[in-house]
A and B are shown apart, each in its own frame.
Chain A
Amino acid sequence: MNEERIEQLFAKADEAAGEPTFRCITTAGIRRQVHRRRLVRVAAPTCIAAVVAIAATWLAISMHTARPQPQRIVSLEEQVKQLQARTDATLKLVQELLERDRQDRRLAALETELASIPDPLQEIDRQVDKTAFILVYQADKLYKELNQTESAVAAYKEVIQLFPTNQWANVARERLSEIEQRRINKSDGQKGEPKWEPRNT
């Protein structure tokens, strides 16, 4: 395989393929093509940018002005009403519970207060007992310290008269019997005072 043979074969092949065809090239034509290419180079991105901007604007406007359908509005209003009713019911229930709780707490406070108040009958008994004791005590003072036996006897009798069922009435009776016993002893000539201690209340 020599160079000449290759050259010959390829030259023949090239010749057999024929001459290439192309249009006449003029400066004006070239300038037109250059101008067209520049125009395309500038216009294409500009057009794309404009289309994108218009599309974005249209989309923004359409989204901004989009209104919901009437059926949807009715449905939403219905839902709002239902929610409102449910809220009102819940609120009412909460208010009732709060009121009941407040009443329970008030009742508990009143019961506590009532429990702290003493029984009036017991109080009267206590006051009666105390009065009877004071009278007996005064009578004892008259009898033991002041030696006013008659006054003491009157006081004991008063206790028995005023509080016949009280314990101090019994004490007063004991004192009276004691005084009576002393008087008898005195009159009999026997001496000896009995030791006496007032009952401690």
Chain B
Amino acid sequence: MAAMAKVTEELALVERFRRGDDSAFEEIVEQHAAEVAALANRLLGWPGDVDDVVQEVFVAAFLGLKKFRGESSLRTWLFTITINKCRSYRFRRLRRLRSVAIEEAAALESRDRSGEKAVLDQEALARARRAIRVLPQKYREIVVLRYLQGLEVSEICELLGITDNATQVRLNRARKRLKEQLGDLLEE
């Protein structure tokens, strides 16, 4: 019932937007901007500043909202847009991100010599983020959506447009790769 009420509420917002009520769009932004930003931040490898992608996502949502048919929730719809925008954004800035990854790896190497506990924790977390960041796109998206966004497999299937089986296969392969890189951290 709660889900039904939510869908009805979202459709009402969309209908208000269709009739020219800008406040409806601002409500949608207010409800979903943080989640969209968090997802973009994770998919792009935690760059911190995700303003460009978030702006692009909501511009695309603004242009496409009139065609929204309510077949999925607004959140799922916005997440789909976010994933697509992150793909193109990451593709455009691949070289820059690679250089960032190399710099961060070099920084990690230099920190290995410090030996302090807090620093070691930070290094482990940075290693975890780096492990996700260097995963191939199809595995990275699955890992982010499953473990960081906490989405169910069915939602992931809907978002990525793949079957349940394909999702499981990708998830297992992603886990295997993560284990290769983070085995010591995951077995503690």
Contact = CB atoms under 8 A, between A and B. Distances in A.
Contacts of B38: 19-20
B62 A21 contact: no
Interface residues of A, number: 27
Contacts of A67: none
A155 B151 CA distance: 166
Contact of B182 (A7, A9, A17, A31): A9
Given A17-B46, A34-B59, A1 B179 contact: yes
A30 B125 CA distance: 36
Contacts of A22: 33, 37, 49-51, 54-55
Contact of A34 (B26, B62, B143, B185): B62
Contacts, number: 90
The contact size tier of chain B is 35 or more
A34 B26 CA distance: 16
Given A22-B54, A27-B26, A30-B25, A10 B41 contact: no
B148 A11 contact: yes
A117 interface: no
B59 A6 contact: no
A14 B26 CA distance: 27
Interface of B: 22-23, 25-26, 29, 33, 37-38, 40-42, 46, 48-51, 54-55, 58-59, 62-63, 122, 124-126, 128-129, 132, 143, 147-148, 150, 175, 178-179, 182-183, 185-187
Interface of A: 1, 5-7, 9-14, 16-23, 25-28, 30-31, 33-34, 37
